[in-house]
A and B are shown apart, each in its own frame.
Chain A
Amino acid sequence: MKAAARPRRRAHAALVIAQRLLFETMIGPGIYVAACCALLAAHALVTEFALSIEPGGFNPERTALYRLVYELIVSAFGQTFFDGLFAEGPFVLAYTVSFGLLAVYFASGSVTRLAMERRVGAMELVCYGPADGTSCLLGALGRDMALSLCSALLLLAFLGVLSLRHNLAMGPHLASAAAALFLLAFAVSSMGLLCASLATRAASAAALFTGLLLLFAVLLAARYAGVTGYARTLASALSGALQWFSPLFWWDLAVRMAERGALPACVGLLPLAALSASYLTAAHLLTRSAGSGPW
């Protein structure tokens, strides 16, 4: 083929595949259940926060939910982190929890679907046409990103309504948190696609993705948590070896740089984007090694 036409052909195929995956997602009940759970979580975190406000300020002891949140966060990350998180109200936490829930749901859905389609031969049928394994990966990524963008807009609108209802101001940190989380979702989806490229079965792809995500989350928590002794040594050794591959590590770095201003925030997001690109490149090379069909 004329090499110049290949990227256009691939992009077109990815777009068509993404549209099909989106349609498939929208006609199933899963997305609506996940969206309801995310909205309920956001609602609970904002409403309970409003109930936890006293004349003297925010007091997490007033509600059971925030007593639990306080204990969890302070024991893991310390009082300073907790104070910073709620400096602008409950919205950053509410958005992080609800968006994170949806992003993981979308990425895991893509991982299992991709691996399943590859296994049953559906992907091969697509690859008989002007599409290849990379088009399928890009299609799945496109679907995840479109859903993440819609979720972000939906959640921001929902949080806006809640802020008006409870008379709580939404601060500028929410916007930077939303941007960083969107890029995190991109990196997590890319990692999921790499998992789907590596595993041969839907179950093993899902297990690999979930396992890696949990491992990276534990390693991130261990950096802040007050663990001591062997647990700290082990976490430190593992973290030293694996943190470079963890989207959560780079996201955390970006969030901390964001505290210093907009420019450092943008610079902080670059490694996260580079990591996503690395994941996608690895997945592309894996698919290409076998031919243009399901690798």
Chain B
Amino acid sequence: MIRTRGLVKRYGRLTAVDGVSLEVLPGEIYGFLGPNGAGKTSTIRMLLGTTRPTAGSMTLFGEAYDHRSLELRRRIGVVPERHPAGAWRWMTAREYLRFFAALFEVPRAEERIGALLERMELSRAADRRVAAFSKGMLQKLSFARALLHGPDLLILDEPISGLDPIGLKQVRDLIVEQNRDGRTVLISSHQLSEMERICHRVGILSSGRLIAQGTMPSLIASLEEDAEILVELERIGPELLRQARGLPFTRSVSVEGTTLVLHVGRERDYRRDVGEFLQGTGQVVLGMRERIPSLEEAFVTITGDNVARLAAGSGKGAAT
């Protein structure tokens, strides 16, 4: 769906995007992650054609793409991070959508506008001026605009930042629903827990370089972090701790209240071994669970400690 090769964007002496080669597959939700200033928005702006790349190439829908490809842009729906303040504040929501429907030459526009306003729960505000809209309402209006022409690809730049929990859920459901309808979604966000819930694959950008790209499990597997087995017991004595530390598969052991935390390697599932060990010591196990690193931990590790290693290897350390 989207393929970039060695995409570079320089602003004077600053290199905002440095040789990004990413691939978004048809029908997937691709999370584009990275700390502030990593080059996410610059990359997205190049994908949208609103900024010219300094170097590199892009393919969209299987066709070579550049900033002049107005026809290809008809197949993309875009939701920017925020709706520009001061833009067409005099327009009503309906007039706003009419303008974009005319721009995209949407057939049966009134019908489509009505359906989208209904879907976004904006029907009652359809004839209110955009100036009176809250942030959440503007975000919904942005989504309605992006979906107006039935795009094949949705590009969402931080679409959930600053939304309340209800708005967040609505937007998340909407993204998943659009993906189920066959739309490919590229989404950039800082909300890692949300990304973990909805994305099929993610790419992590740091200092303008794509340092990791892959499915969630493959990214987490690429980390050298231990898994943790948390066992809730009635009581934990010093003898039990000593014995646990002596187990061949434990790397370290700690105690959190009545929970025994065993740090183990992730080469296999050690829960059965832990269970057998505790049974042997006559302990009553109240509960047991495994905690593996989350996307957030993967993100912090990859963009933090491992940046130099991964960047130097340029993909060696990246999960793909």
Binding site for B on A (CB under 8 A): 1-2, 5-6, 9-10, 12-13, 16-17, 19-20, 24, 27, 116-117, 120-122, 124-132, 289-294
- Chain B interface mostly helix, strand, loop or mixed? loop
- How many angstroms between the C-alpha atoms of A16 and B76 in the bound complex? 19
A-B contacts, 14 of them at CB < 8 A, read A1-B69, A1-B71, A6-B70, A9-B70, A12-B103, A16-B103, A120-B87, A125-B87, A126-B103, A128-B48, A132-B67, A132-B68, A290-B52, A293-B45
Is residue B200 within 8 Å, beta carbon to beta carbon, of the partner chain? no
B282 to chain A minimum Cβ distance, whole angstroms, is 66
B79-115 residues at the A interface, CB under 8 angstroms: 80, 83-88, 90, 99-100, 102-105
Are A128 and B73 within 8 A (Cβ)? yes
B47-78 residues at the A interface, CB under 8 angstroms: 48-52, 67-74, 76, 78
B23-50 residues at the A interface, CB under 8 angstroms: 45-46, 48-50
- How many angstroms between the C-alpha atoms of A6 and B69 in the bound complex? 8
In the complex formed, the residue of B with least CB distance to A6 is B70
- How many angstroms between the C-alpha atoms of A132 and B87 in the bound complex? 17
- How many angstroms between the C-alpha atoms of A126 and B49 in the bound complex? 12
**Residues of the A chain whose Cβ atoms lie less than 8 Å from the Cβ of B71:** 1-2, 5-6, 9, 130
Given known pairs A13-B103, A130-B104, the reply for A122 and B88 (CB within 8 Å) is yes
Binding site for A on B (CB under 8 A): 45-46, 48-52, 67-74, 76, 78, 80, 83-88, 90, 99-100, 102-105, 145, 149
Are B50 and A127 within 8 A (Cβ)? yes
Given known pairs A9-B71, A10-B70, A292-B70, the reply for A128 and B105 (CB within 8 Å) is no
A48 to chain B minimum Cβ distance, whole angstroms, is 39
- How many angstroms between the C-alpha atoms of A129 and B79 in the bound complex? 11
Task: Given contact pairs A5-B70, A13-B70, A130-B71, enumerate 19 new A-B contacts (beta carbons under 8 Å).
Answer: A1-B68, A1-B72, A2-B71, A12-B103, A16-B102, A17-B103, A19-B102, A20-B99, A117-B87, A120-B84, A120-B85, A120-B87, A124-B84, A125-B145, A132-B68, A289-B52, A292-B70, A293-B45, A293-B67
Are B84 and A129 within 8 A (Cβ)? no
**Residues of the A chain whose Cβ atoms lie less than 8 Å from the Cβ of B103:** 12-13, 16-17, 126, 129-131
Are A125 and B84 within 8 A (Cβ)? yes
Are A290 and B99 within 8 A (Cβ)? no
Are A27 and B90 within 8 A (Cβ)? yes
- How many angstroms between the C-alpha atoms of A30 and B78 in the bound complex? 34
Are B73 and A129 within 8 A (Cβ)? yes
A197 to chain B minimum Cβ distance, whole angstroms, is 16
In the complex formed, the residue of B with least CB distance to A126 is B103
- How many angstroms between the C-alpha atoms of A110 and B73 in the bound complex? 26
Given known pairs A128-B76, A130-B103, the reply for A293 and B50 (CB within 8 Å) is yes
**Residues of the A chain whose Cβ atoms lie less than 8 Å from the Cβ of B52:** 289-291
B90 to chain A minimum Cβ distance, whole angstroms, is 7
A134 to chain B minimum Cβ distance, whole angstroms, is 10
**Residues of the A chain whose Cβ atoms lie less than 8 Å from the Cβ of B105:** 12
Are A122 and B84 within 8 A (Cβ)? yes
What 5 A-B pairs have minimum CB-CB distances, sorted nearest first? A293-B50, A122-B87, A121-B84, A1-B71, A128-B78
- How many angstroms between the C-alpha atoms of A116 and B145 in the bound complex? 22
Given known pairs A16-B103, A128-B76, A130-B73, the reply for A292 and B68 (CB within 8 Å) is yes
Are B87 and A291 within 8 A (Cβ)? no
Are B67 and A291 within 8 A (Cβ)? yes
Given known pairs A6-B68, A16-B99, A20-B99, the reply for A124 and B50 (CB within 8 Å) is yes
A142 to chain B minimum Cβ distance, whole angstroms, is 14
Given known pairs A1-B70, A131-B103, the reply for A291 and B51 (CB within 8 Å) is yes
**Residues of the B chain whose Cβ atoms lie less than 8 Å from the Cβ of A117:** 87
B252 to chain A minimum Cβ distance, whole angstroms, is 51
In the complex formed, the residue of B with least CB distance to A116 is B86
**Residues of the B chain whose Cβ atoms lie less than 8 Å from the Cβ of A13:** 70, 103
Given known pairs A13-B103, A131-B70, the reply for A292 and B80 (CB within 8 Å) is no
Given known pairs A121-B84, A131-B70, the reply for A292 and B102 (CB within 8 Å) is no
**Residues of the A chain whose Cβ atoms lie less than 8 Å from the Cβ of B51:** 290-291, 293
